[in-house]
Structure 1
Amino acid sequence: MIPEKLKLTDERLIELLRDRLTILTESGLPTFEEQISSVAPLLAQLGVPEFVWKNTMAMSCLAVLSARSSEKNVTPQKITVIGGRGRMGKFFAQQLSAAGHNVSVLGNQDWEYADILLGEADLVLISVPIECTVDVIQRAAEYLAPTTALADITSIKTEPVQTMLKYHIGPVMGLHPMFGPSIKSFSGQKVVVCPGRQDDSFQWLLQFIASKGAELIVCTPEEHDWIMVIVQATRHFSRFSLGVFLAAEKIDIDRSLSMSSPSYRQEIDIVNRLFAQSPSLCVDIMLATEERCQAIEKLANTYSRLAQLVAKKDRAALIQKFETTQSFFKQKSDRPLESDYAIATFSS
């Protein structure tokens, strides 16, 4: 009963926010950011943490409004998405097409038309598996005009950006959408931007993504790849390992959930989402670079060392490890815990 009441309350709140933002928009409030800021004090008074209103509730409401305003004055671009029949490529193709751009798709069977699909494009977006990205960049570059903007959206950036800069003399940029292809919009999502050459040629694309509610994070390809070792590779391995363990032990997941804590339910949901993906995608993310493989090996060694302490029942050593790590997290982060709010919300 309580979850249903919460759902209805959330729906009413979102409707009120949408009405308020519509009024602000009609009165000429100029920017997307100012609309978000206008809602912030109200939600702060209600005790809603910043990460919630900034990345979920307010962003969801603003997505509809931004779509209306941003698509009125679109200058149509000729866009070709290489790999546009894949899930992520299809998402970008659909979003850009819905905004009024002329979007074409180039798949494995379409290379005989590459001179038209690529040679006449304003933007070529490469969305292919990690192991194919460099080869596809080299192949596509032969057909590109010097003015064509070339970008990729794979999860590694250093090698693809270097390859694009080497084989294409025109505008180059690396992008990494930090979300899966199952989402319905850019609202509340993050997109990493790695500048390469002639960034101005991509401003319309970045503005489009931002207008849909996404947050753009700019960094070098090298910084991106190092951060992704932690954000993607080791995280995937950790959850992959837990899933393999649960399956090997033939754990009754439904039964375990019936008597679980909110945090356990969250963890199982996350593991479930991982194993709902393509196996090759998950494995390729872990194996994409030697740096990722080495970090995963270090993580596995950490598991092994801690497991040995558990096997020895070395309570003092385990407490010492905990306290050292506890100190690290206290020093490195003073942000509120998102999981605390989520757990409190869904368990209340």
Structure 2
Amino acid sequence: MSESETDSNQASSDSIESARRKVAEQRGKIDDLDRQLVELLQERRVLVSEIAALKRAGSLPIRDDARERAMHALHAQWAEELELPPTVIEGLFRMVLWSSRNYQAQLRTAVPAGVASRRVAIIGGEGSMGRQFARAFESLGNEVLRADLDTSLRPAEAVADAQVVLFAVPIAQTERIIAELAPLARPDALLTDITSVKAGPVAAMREHGEATVIGTHPLFGPAVNSMQGQRIVLTPAWDADADAREGDPHGWLPWLETSLRAMGLELVRSTPAGHDRAMAIVQVLTHYSTEVLGRSLQRLGVSLEETLRFTSPIYYIDMLMAARHFAQRSELYASIQTQNPNTEQVTAVFREVAEELAGIISAKDGDAFSEVFDEVREFFGEFSPRALDESRYLIDRLVERR
């Protein structure tokens, strides 16, 4: 190596080392700023706790949608003034607001002072959803009795001793367990359940017990980080047009609605039959589609890792949802698919449409494909702009995390 080459290499090495030192210095300044951000978040948390106390005293809800919309608009204005990416600022503050709502829930902000505590029996209380609702009811000041197959407290004893009985058992066994235990409930009690189908369990509770009956279906699973903002369907056993005093002589519906809202849940009212029709789409059809996708990938013998080398964001999201689906208990999904009274109707349409599209694609008929595509686009209508906006947000967050 010549002397000039040696000098050049040394200069290059010195330049790299100098750059590293300067980068380290700047990173130190960034760390200092990040520390200040965390300290400001702690100051914000103190203010949130003070606001939570005021909200509880005034019976105000945790979430104020109008306030949050105004905040997002203000944040977007700040981002524009400072020439910062608005989507990044929006994502940052959405996480801050989510954390704020969750913290307020932990402080029992939404628990009304005047709501009486009850003795709540959770049948299936050692299951994942049973434990989740046991914790939620306990957090509201209720006495919770957990009864399961292996607990010292027997289910029959818990039902007889409780003011509220919640069945949190596998779907396939729900009606049998209700038939066995509902007759033991006090006539002035509340019978409820968290099953993914509603017509059968609600009818069973009405048939076998004398207590008030209100079915529920949490539209989330035990893996969620928080109940805040999650939805739950309520299906009272009495006709919506009938006098509620006949179906609910002891006023259980207001108590249950207040309790669920205090847990941070958003309530959806329906009938048992209306719920099952909706779930045939929301659960049965979507699960069926996911199961067909997963089974097709397995049958094709593809290497998932190899396909992920070529992944688009949408394919990656599809794979996340499919793998999440199959990572859970097959018994749960089997029951959802087989116990819904509308399953055959929706799965038959799925098969018909798959055959229709297969025929069009096989014939290489671009005009027919476009015709079908346009008809479906028209069906989605005004939901499409929202879908583009929200899916873009999801994709951006996912790409940032990978």
TM-score normalised according to structure 2 size: 0.75
State the alpha-carbon separation in 2 of the partners of residues 188 and 252 from structure 1: 37
Shift of 1:124: 0.4
**Equivalents in 1 of 2:209, 2:197: separation in Å?**
19
Amino acid at match of 2:52: T
Tell me which amino acid in the other structure corresponds to 2:51. L
2:61 corresponds in structure 1 to 32
**Cα deviation code 1:152-186 (max 9, x no counterpart):** 10011112112212222221101000011112431
Q: Which residue of 2 aligns with 1:188?
A: 229
| RMSD over equivalenced CA pairs, Å | 3.2
Paired residue type of 1:252: S
Residue number in structure 2 paired with 1:205: 256
Unmatched tracts of structure 1, length 5 or more: none
1:213-244 per-residue CA deviation (whole Å, 9 max, x = no partner) reads 22111111111111100000010000011111
Deviations 1:59-96 (A, max 9, x none): 44212213323568474321111111222112112222
Distance 2:95 2:270 in 1: 24
Partner in structure 2 of residue 264 of structure 1: 315
Identical aligned residues as a percent: 26
Name 2:391's counterpart in structure 1. Answer: 339
Q: For the structure 1 residues 19 and 309, does the alpha-carbon distance in structure 2 shift closer, same or farther, using more than 3 Å as the test?
A: farther
SS at match of 1:154: coil
User: What TM-score do the two structures reach when normalised by structure 1?
Assistant: 0.86
Q: How far apart are residue 203 of structure 1 and its match? A: 2.9
- Name the stretch that deviates more: 291-300 or 172-181: 291-300
Judging changes above 3 Å, is the alpha-carbon distance between structure 1 residues 22 and 112 closer, same or farther for their aligned structure 2 residues? closer
Which of 119, 129, 133 aligns to 2:170? It is 129
Query: Out of 227, 233, 239, which is 2:290 matched to?
Result: 239
Corresponding residue for residue 123 of structure 2: 82
Q: 111-120 or 99-108, which moves further after superposition?
A: 111-120
**Larger relative contact order (Cα-Cα within 8 Å, sequence gap ≥ 6):** 1
Aligned to 2:215: 174
1:333–1:136 Cα change, 3 Å: farther
Letter in 2 for 1:62: R
Pair 1:14–1:213, CA change in 2 (3 A): farther
Max Rg structure: 2
Q: How many Å separate the matches in 2 of 1:138 and 1:227? A: 26
CA contact (8 A) 1:144 1:168 kept: yes
Q: Which amino acid aligns with 1:342?
A: L
For 1:300 and 1:102, how far apart are their aligned partners in 2? Answer: 49
Cα 1:182–1:331 change in 2 (3 A) is closer
Q: How many residues align?
A: 340
Q: Alpha carbons of 1:138 and 1:110: their partners in 2 closer, same or farther (altered >3 Å)?
A: farther
